[in-house]
Each structure stands twice: as C-alpha cells, then as structure tokens.
Chain A
C-alpha cells in the first residue's frame, strides 16, 4: 500500500461567519498518497486556494481536520505550525515567490538556512537543485533579472530543497506564457516520475489539467469530480 501524505476530513471553511457567511469549503474529504501528481480545478471562487491553504497549514478550517503524514496540523499553533511547514511542505505560489534582494542561488539556500543545515550540505544541495530545474547558469541572478518561468523554476527548486512531504502550487502557471508553462510542467512531471515527488496544484488551464494524473474538480466549495483525465486513464488502468 502506498503511503498517505494528506488526509483531510470534512473540511469546511466559512468566511464572514457573522455577516453573510460564505462557504469557501463545504465538507471536503481528500486523500492524497505519496507520488501523486494531482490538479485541482474549478471555476473562480470555487475554493481551490482555500483548500490548498487548509492542507498547507496557512489557514485553519472552520470545521474538520487535516492530517499530514500522521500529524494533525489543525491543532498546531504559531511557531510550531511555521516549523511544521518549513520541514514538511513545499510551496510554489502564483508569483512573487522569491526574495527580491537575494540571488536565485541564495533564495534556494535561504530555506536550508532556516533549517540550519551545514554550509557544505547547503552548497551541494542548492547546486543539485539548480541543475534539476535547468538554471545552473542563472545562479547569481536576482529574481528581477529572471523571466517569470525561470522564477517559477527557482521557486520549485526552493520548495524541493528541504525534501518536503509534498509540494503545493496554487496556479503556478497562471502568469506564464504557454512555452514557459509547459517547460515548468515538464520539470514538475520529471521530478514526479523520477524522484516520486508529490505535487498538488490548482489551475484553470486545460493544458495543465491534461498533464495531471489525477484531477479533482471543485464547485462551490465541494468536490464534484475526482478522476484521471481520459488520456491518462488508459495508461494507468490496471495499475492498481
């Protein structure tokens, strides 16, 4: 049996509870296993970001709970939660992922510094990660000197650096042209296949959805579909 990394139970998130309540999430159950490459799609306002925030420990649910690798993060507070994120979850945001005053290399090293890793280990790991995202030659560039796609690749490398349980990416390609987007997807795909890195990303983009191996559809805060797209179903049929 595969290892469960995320187990979310009956997640509910209500905004503006006292005035006009908005059910951003309404009773979502989610089970994610190691090595998944899962897209979360849905119309704007359907709750994609809210769901990712819940499983990423960036916001706490109004009801329900989230377990990551056996730890219930819904009960974690303040510093403990920040620490948990640092060691267990990699984040890639839509844009402005990087610290503008640090170079690409330093941005990746930053997270290892937060983890207090020794210098030799940091150097080795950062170089290795930059190679994996194909940006060895951009190590000394600051974010402003990189293209949007390159910035997102650095962000992926940074998210990978601490060897997290999984990587969450909220619309990682939304600000990219299609070439850069497919480039980023190639890298994520490769990392998933070769290193068994678990990716969960939200998106509007059909081309991105097509490359996912599992697609969860949200509508009005509920999961209305949870399938593999047709093209992939064939490949994976009979695997289980």
Chain B
C-alpha cells in the first residue's frame, strides 16, 4: 500500500515532479560532465608529461634536481638498477643521461634537453614509435637523434637532416658532435614538444665524455594510485646519496595547477548542489503545504504518522532517484563521446593554453567513480531534504491541519 500510494503521488502533480526530476537530471549531468572533463584533462596532462617522459618516479643522485648538470650524475650500478626493477609495482626502469645542450642546424641554434636513453625502452614506456610523424626510431646504439616535432620546426629541420650538438660535458669537458636526424616525434605536452632531443644512451655517454654515468632512472609503475607506497619502498632500497622524487615533486607547477583547479571545481559543484538542494527543498515545502489538509485527514482517520512520513520520504527519494538515473544516462553519451573525440581548442585560446604549458585538448575521463560519487551526493541531499516532511508530519495535529 505504501509503495502504491508513493508511486501514485509521484504522478499527482506531474509538472512539479517533472521539473524536480529534470533539475536533478541537469545537475547530475552537469556535475558528471564537469568532473569527467576535469579528470580527463588532468589524466591526459599527467599522462602526457609523466607518462610520456618523466615517469611517475625518478631516482637521481642527491642534489641533481636542484642543479641539473652532468656533473651531478652517478655511476651506473647494476645492483641498484636490479633491486629497483624487482620491486613489486615497478613495471620498467629507464636509465637516462640528460643535460641541457645547444642544438644547431644551418644558421639556427636553440637550447634543448638532450636525453640519452634507450629508444626501445622509451617506446615501451610511452609508445613513442606510434607518435613518430616522419622517419623512424633510432636503433639501440645508433649514432642518430630523434627530435621533438615543435623543436624541429623551430630549428627548421626535417628527418634526414644533420644536427650539431654542442655544450659542456662531464667534468668540464667539451661536448660536440654531428648527428643525423633519424626521426621526428610528436609530444602532447608543449613543454616536451618544444625542446626534447633523444639520443641513444651510449652515444650520449660518448658525446658528453661520461662513460657509464647516468643522471636518472625514470620509473614506470603499474598503479598510479599507489604512488606514495611505491615511492616509499623505492626510497628504502636505494642508497642514502640518492633522491627519489615523484612527479608532483618533479613538476610542482602541474601538481599545483591540478590542486587549484580541483579546489575551484569543488566550489563550483558545491554551489551547484546547494542550488539543487534548495530546489528540491522548495518543491517539498510546497508539496507539504499543499497537502496539509490531506495529511490531517489521514491521521484523523487512523493512519500512523510513521507510515505517512515514510510515504512522503519515499516520494522525494524516488523523484530524485529517477532524476539521478536520467542524469547518469544522459551524461553517458557525451562523456564517452568526448573521451573518444576530445574537444580541441584552436587559435588564440589554444595559444594561451600552450603558453602555460598545456596542450589545448580536452578529453573526458570515463570513470565509474565519478558517476557513483555524483549520484551519492545528490541522493544524500535528497535524503536530508526528504526528512523535512517527516519532521513536519511528526508535529502535525489533525484538527489544526484540517482547519481551513
């Protein structure tokens, strides 16, 4: 009987129920979309920067990150490499020798980040082979470079051209060499795309006069959500004079940006939900005022207040539940669509984003967690506002309620 009454009451003031449902639907849709975009963009950002080059964790000699020069490198030790690689959660360890160096071709010269590394391993980390726009990946010990696309453009070079690298090597030595450009690769992160040059590790050691020296191990981990735990275990097994940094420590700018954006997102959704809460509460208030006489009549003829309260509570819960379900269903297609076909900004806006070091590409994240959290928040709101009529009924006395 309770369910029958609840259900029929829902359809009693169709327009009002419908308006309440649609407002809940839109709120859920908006919140889910916003959070999916936010998470999608950040995942994309982190993935592009962290996943494509930096790695979630890096191990260096103590002090390297402060002063990033070859002199702060460490001597390659198989024992350290192997113990890190064997840690559970660590998928891949990439030894690198990196330095800032001048690259020149023809009359153009530009500073760049030279990464001496194993091209095959880099490919396993990020699948850069698929991002190659012209040419190919250099072989393991090949004397050839792979250039980031933006950098190649700035230097006005193409695959097949020759690049001159010139700078300071290990212990004050001079580093200079001529390298054919084997391929051009596109990076999602503008920062990387504008200034990264790959050279096979042994070639880099030779160029910089740094036999057997490394500046970092970049770590690929299998579960980013366990980052701090894995960081702690890596820390435990590496010698004292090494530093173990996670991507947030490596790139505090990005971490801060994500944090700040997250905060503004919470404020925005907070306001959105406040509006929804008042909307739901308003309809409930109207409904209880309108049906006051009926409630009085029902208690007069012998209906217990607890049962009546339950019906009203279920009514508002059902309305919201239907609204939430509709909102989730409605948000599914756009979330999935924008995950497959991210929004891409063009022109001025894109340039602004790129100046800040972000690619102007906005995909959504398809994360069940988002759908679940948003639904729970709205349902909690409905639960709380739904308690109002219950309270109202508990104080109702029939002769007053039925007075007109």
Q: B301: which A residues are within 8 A, CB to CB?
A: 85-86, 91, 111, 158-159
Q: Determine if A128 is an interface residue (Cβ-Cβ < 8 Å).
A: no
Of B1-9, B121-129, B211-219, B381-389, the one touching chain A: B1-9
Contacting pair A82 B299 (CB below 8 A): yes
Whether the Cβ atoms of B297 and A83 lie closer than 8 Å is no
Give the contacts of A51-98 with B (CB-CB under 8 A): 53, 56, 58-59, 78-79, 82-83, 85-87, 91, 93, 96-97
Residue A191 interfacial (CB < 8 Å): no
Q: In the docked arrangement, what's the CA distance between A182 and B304, Å?
A: 34
Chain A residues, CB < 8 A from B398 = 58-59
Q: Do B5 and A102 touch across chains, with their CB atoms under 8 A apart? A: yes
Q: How far is the CA of A53 from the CA of B299 in the complex (A)?
A: 13
Question: Closest CB-CB distance, B363 to chain A, in whole Å?
Answer: 47
| Minimum C-beta distance from A27 to chain B (A) | 20
- B302 contacts A82, CB within 8 Å? yes
B302 touches A111 (CB 8 A): yes
Q: Which of B12, B299, B305, B307 contacts A101 (CB 8 A)?
A: B12
Q: How far apart sit A87 and B402, CA to CA, in the bound complex (Å)?
A: 21
A113 interface residue per 8 A CB criterion? yes
Q: Which residues of B contact A56 (CB under 8 A)?
A: 300
B294 pairs with A99, CB closer than 8 A: yes
With both beta carbons as reference points, the residue of chain B lying nearest to A83 in the complex is identified as: B302
Please indicate the chain B residues that have their CB under 8 angstroms from the CB of A85 in the complex.
300-302
B315 to chain A, nearest CB (A): 11
Asked if A100 lies at the interface with its beta carbon under 8 angstroms from chain B, I say yes
A110 interface hit (Cβ, 8 Å): yes
Decide if A110 touches B399 in the complex (CB within 8 Å).
no
Does A225 interact with chain B (Cβ within 8 Å)? no
Q: Which residues of B contact A79 (CB under 8 A)?
A: 304-306
Residues of A within 8 A of B299 (CB): 82
Task: Please tell me if A114 contacts chain B, counting CB pairs below 8 Å.
Answer: yes
A91 touches B294 (CB 8 A): no
Q: Taking A53-B399, A58-B399, A59-B399 as contacts, is the C-beta distance between A110 and B297 under 8 angstroms?
A: no
User: A59, A87, A101, A158: which has the most chain B beta carbons within 10 Å?
Assistant: A101
Chain B, residues 292-328, CB within 8 Å of chain A (1/0): the string is 0110011111111111000000000000000000000
Residues 100-115 of chain A: 1 if any B CB is under 8 Å from the residue's CB, otherwise 0?
1110000000110110
Q: Is B397 an interface residue (CB 8 A)?
A: yes
Give how many A residues have a beta carbon under 8 Å from the other chain's beta carbons: 26
| Residues in B365-404 with C-beta less than 8 Å from chain A | 397-399, 402
Interface pair A58/B9, CB less than 8 Å apart: no
B302 pairs with A93, CB closer than 8 A: no
- CA of A79 to CA of B307, assembled, Å: 11
* Residues B302 and A59 in contact, CB atoms below 8 Å apart: no
- A79 — nearest CB in chain B belongs to which residue? B304
Which B139-171 residues have C-beta < 8 A from chain A? none
Q: Mark A130-147, 1 if CB is under 8 A from B, else 0.
A: 000000000000000000
Most A-side CB within 10 Å, residue of B11, B301, B306, B398: B301
**Chain B residues with Cβ under 8 A from A78's Cβ?**
305
C-alpha gap A111/B300 in the complex (Å): 11
Expressed in whole angstroms, the Cα–Cα distance for A111 and B299 within the complex equals: 11
Q: How far is the CB of B158 from chain A (nearest CB, A)?
A: 76
| A residues less than 8 Å from B307 (CB atoms) | 114
Known A93-B297, A96-B297, A101-B5; contact A82-B12, beta-carbon cutoff 8 A: no
Q: Chain A residue with minimal CB distance to B291?
A: A100
A96 touches B294 (CB 8 A): yes
**B11 proximity list for chain A (CB < 8 A):** 101
Least CB distance, B20 to chain A, in whole angstroms: 17
User: Within the assembled complex, what's the spacing in Å between the Cα atoms of A158 and B298?
Assistant: 12
Instruction: Report the Cα distance A82→B402, complex, angstroms.
Output: 15
When distances are taken between beta carbons in the complex, the residues of chain B under 8 Å from A162 are: 302
In the complex, which residue of chain A has the Cβ closest to the Cβ of B10?
A: A101
Q: Which residues of B have CB within 8 Å of A102?
A: 5, 8
Contact check, B298 vs A87: say whether CB atoms are below 8 A apart. no
Pick the contact of A113 from B1, B294, B297, B399 — CB < 8 Å? B1
Query: Of residues 21 to 55 in A, which have CB atoms within 8 Å of B's CB atoms?
Result: 53
Q: How far is B195's CA from A119's CA once the two chains are assembled, in angstroms? A: 81
Q: How far is B302's CA from A87's CA once the two chains are assembled, in angstroms?
A: 8
CB-CB under 8 A from B399, the residues of chain A are 53, 58-59
Please name the residue on chain A nearest to B2 by beta carbon: A113
Contact with A along B5-38 (1 / 0, CB 8 A): 1001101100000000000000000000000000
Contact A100 B302 (CB under 8 A): no
Give me 14 A-to-B residue pairs in the complex whose CB atoms sit less than 8 angstroms apart, sorted by A's number.
A56-B300, A58-B399, A58-B402, A79-B304, A79-B305, A79-B306, A96-B293, A96-B294, A99-B298, A102-B5, A114-B302, A114-B303, A114-B304, A162-B302
Using a CB–CB cutoff of 8 Å, the interface residues on chain A facing chain B are 53, 56, 58-59, 78-79, 82-83, 85-87, 91, 93, 96-97, 99-102, 110-111, 113-114, 158-159, 162
Extra inter-chain contacts (11) besides given A78-B305, A97-B297, CB under 8 Å: A58-B402, A82-B303, A82-B305, A91-B300, A96-B293, A96-B294, A96-B297, A111-B301, A113-B1, A159-B301, A162-B302
Smallest CB-CB A-B distances: 3 pairs:
A86-B302, A101-B8, A59-B399
